[in-house]
Amino acid sequence: MSSMISRRALLRNGFNAGAGLVVFSQFPEGRPILAASANSQRTAERFQPAYKRLDAFIAQHMHETGAPGMSVALADRNGLLRTSEYGFADLKAGVKVGPQTLFEIGSISKSFVSIAILSVADEGKIDLHKPVIEYLPWLKIESKYAPFTTHHLLTHTAGLSAVPLLMRVAPTTLTTGSEPGSRFLYSNIGYVLLGFLLEAIDRRPFPEVLHKRVLEPLGMTASAPVITNAIKERLAIGYGPLHEDRPFPLRGKLAEAPWLEVPEAAGSVAATAGDMVAYLQLLLNRGAGPRGRVISEKSFQLLVKPVVKASFRGEDASYGYGLWINDGSNRTLVRHTGGMVAFSSAMYADLTDGFAAFASVNANLRGYRPVAVTRYALDLLNAASRNQELPALPASQPTPASIKNAADYAGTFNAPDGKKLVLIAHGDKLILQHGRQRIVLEQAGRDRFIVKHPDFDLFTLGFGRDKDVVVEAFHGPDWWANERYSGPKFFEYPKEWDTLTGRYRSDSPWYGSSRLFVRKGRLILDDQQFLIPLEPGVFRPQGDINAAERITFDTLVNGKAMHLNFSGIDFYRTFTP
């Protein structure tokens, strides 16, 4: 896990047991195909070369990532430019993605919630800077800071936890870890509270609020405000890693993900590509959809006003109301992504040049979002609109087995118990000598690698550096050092930590399972997150995260803790490794 603990980080660990019986390692027909498309006649000829190049890139992209199916929408201020569908909605049945196939758009739903809130504000029914607890008197907040407001929830600056997203956590006691407005910390539970807030103010259920205030005015008649069993037959089948509890390699084996309803306002919308055109048009026309204004110009300015610095996938950006915003160099770009148990989405809208793109894939590919597709689509549309040469097809991504700095890791590493780890660099390949086998490693991040062998499949193989020189290696609780390592080699730790180590599982597909172990005298969750002890059975994650996050253990049976609670999310011990 990264130092930023969140539902997104936990989602990397997978989803709960219940995947479909059929395993998919490649597309039934080898490469993804364009299944359907609909073009606006007013622009078809002008943009046709751009569409053709985009189709070629998507075919390449889906082949490289292993995405089963994709739905894409392109729009300008006048509405539809093109919708296109690729690949399969159901791999087992061979059903292709079609114009009426629903995709879960994930956290792009947050801007729908923001628009609904601003619609209520346009009617004078809510003060965005009034404490939320005055609208939700049942809310239980433990805090030493000032009360947070609707504005703080919309901008992820309320100081709430980054971990929980389930509705059942909302009525429990929530804790804030920073002064409202002082810092950005992505918080799904904050948007869950906004769903309850809309219900309280509008005096009707959240799905009805979102339908009446956003979907209906936009004419999004094929879409759903919440994901329920009623729309299951219209949704693409969602996929995820076959093995939910271990690192997932590029183009790893997929299985059908478990089905679940999603009533939480943080990510509840399911939509078709055609309907998403109307949403994109609202963004490009500053609050006006194809049927007229949904929110006022004043409210739209609030929607896209940069409020707090918040990087977007490593890029400099700010966050407004449910949107990431880049507002500089005489250009305003708004973006968001969405990650679900079995769907991955991205949205880009260039408010200056007047083009927008949306893409969604029916799979959870561990952190993947189709941002490369939406970004390239905008680049193509902008070039075509100016009669400029189209940008070249992006280069194929290097294979994960190609490691340019393989020599950095080569050598022999020794464990305190005498066991050895031998790595060999052969050109751009990094090879583990394991017994009589030579295993080619695959890159899984900076200084981290996937080892495709049963002895190494539960964790990545990682390396530590001293002054940028590799000096140690680790895999789960195991640790080795090479001749350049100069630190201690034996470590003490409180023996009561042995009662905590092991594997824990949540009953929610959002969180899957987590493993806890001791390495180098430190208690570590999911291979990367160090825990800091506060009192017996109570820890906080190390790093620049919400100070209110807590991990607690209880219920000892035969000398082992049976229950782990991570900021309101319950995990229970399982006896599998």
Q: What is the pLDDT of residues 446-482, one digit of tens each?
A: 999 999 999 999 999 999 999 999 999 999 999 999 9
pLDDT at 9 over 90: no
DSSP state of 102: B
Taking the C-alpha atoms of residue 473 and residue 239, their distance in angstroms, rounded to an integer, is: 33
Reference 181, options 309, 325, 337; nearest CA is 309
Whether the CB-CB separation of 347 and 108 falls below 8 Å is answered with: yes
pLDDT at 14 over 50: no
Question: How far, rounded to the nearest angstrom, does the alpha carbon of residue 450 sit from its chain's CA centroid?
Answer: 21
pLDDT at 2 over 90: no
Taking the C-alpha atoms of residue 518 and residue 524, their distance in angstroms, rounded to an integer, is: 6
Q: In this predicted structure, what is the pLDDT of residue 575? A: 87
Tokens of 283: 């963004």
Q: In this predicted structure, what is the pLDDT of residue 314? A: 87
pLDDT at 548 over 90: no
> CA-CA distances (angstroms) from residue 450 to 142, 432, 439, 445, 526?
42, 11, 10, 9, 15
What's the angle, vertex CA 434, arms to CA 476 and CA 365, rounded to 5?
50
CB atoms within 10 A of CB 51: 23
Per-residue HEC secondary structure of 132-199 comes to: HHHCCCCCCEECCCCCCEHHHHHCCCCCCCCCCCCHHHCCCCEECCCCCCCCCCCCHHHHHHHHHHHH
pTM: 0.92
Tokens of 64: 């490289």
CB atoms within 10 A of CB 457: 14
Percent of the chain with pLDDT over 90: 87
How many residues are present in the chain? 577
Comparison of pLDDT for 486 and 42, the residue scoring more: 486
Tell me the pLDDT of the chain averaged across its residues.
Answer: 92
Q: In this predicted structure, what is the pLDDT of residue 25? A: 54
Taking the C-alpha atoms of residue 566 and residue 570, their distance in angstroms, rounded to an integer, is: 7
pLDDT tens-digit readout, 99-152 = 999 999 999 999 999 999 999 999 999 999 999 999 999 999 999 999 999 999
Reference 271, options 210, 225, 330; nearest CA is 225
pLDDT tens-digit readout, 204-216 = 999 999 999 999 9
pLDDT tens-digit readout, 318-367 = 999 999 999 877 889 999 999 999 999 999 999 999 999 999 999 999 88
pLDDT at 279 over 60: yes
Taking the C-alpha atoms of residue 95 and residue 124, their distance in angstroms, rounded to an integer, is: 47
Percent of the chain with pLDDT over 70: 94
Q: In this predicted structure, what is the pLDDT of residue 19? A: 36
pLDDT tens-digit readout, 140-176 = 999 999 999 999 999 999 999 999 989 999 999 999 9
- The sign one gets for the Cα dihedral 88, 91, 95, 101 is negative
Average pLDDT, integer, range 482-490? 96
